[in-house]
Structure 1
């Protein structure tokens, strides 16, 4: 029997197997959502930590699956992920009198429709700005469906007022 022939086949198979394992590992990691973590002052960080503790496990029927890097200032639900970021900067659009705004269950929101059909909502008249990005897949009519489930935790954790 010629063992050298089998050895070459086996050695050729190992690099291919290693490549397949690497590609598979990378593709599953690509499914994880990511979000830039805001860097607010200590007062706002405390409010955001309180919000993180009050956030629901589900919004609009989607399970919570926080984005990377993990932080008490970010949260996510579903895939593609609805992303919440607490402690973001005040959006420039809040100065525009013609900006689309509204209220959902006692929480005011600036509503910004993106070119891809997604929405970015930013809370208004609260001591910390909370941004919620809703991918176009989850947008229903005006995109505010997920905000209903977030209203109670935001009202509980982020007092009314003007963010610094």
Structure 2
């Protein structure tokens, strides 16, 4: 995120070398009121297993044929486990019956830290307005994408005994 002004005094921010790490430039107030650390944002992702398949969804803003995992932001005061159960319920209408950590993945392009979970879910799918459609895919037919939530899906499939191959996003 690029900011221009100090939120304390409204002076224009300048670039300065971090005192602890002279390699990193940070946006900072010239009067030292504030520093923009630009830390990664925690994002939750769910490999939703439903009816012995993996549920992939297409965001309403994405092109046709592009599907991914259910994902969303962690809310203040919420544990990641409760957060992913909430996201699954909000976006799909499904109940998270079992939640287990898959791993944590950096997504530098979006300055995010993805906390990925495997979620066994039940109920009836009812998509939120932010999702256009979903599909249920057999484990052996999934081709993870090489960025974002794709590496989590790749690792989870391998842990399940499958030999996935990466494909371009939207192709699998």
TM-score (norm 2): 0.29
- Normalized against structure 1, the TM-score is what? 0.30
Structure having the higher Rg: 1
**More helix as a share of residues:** 1
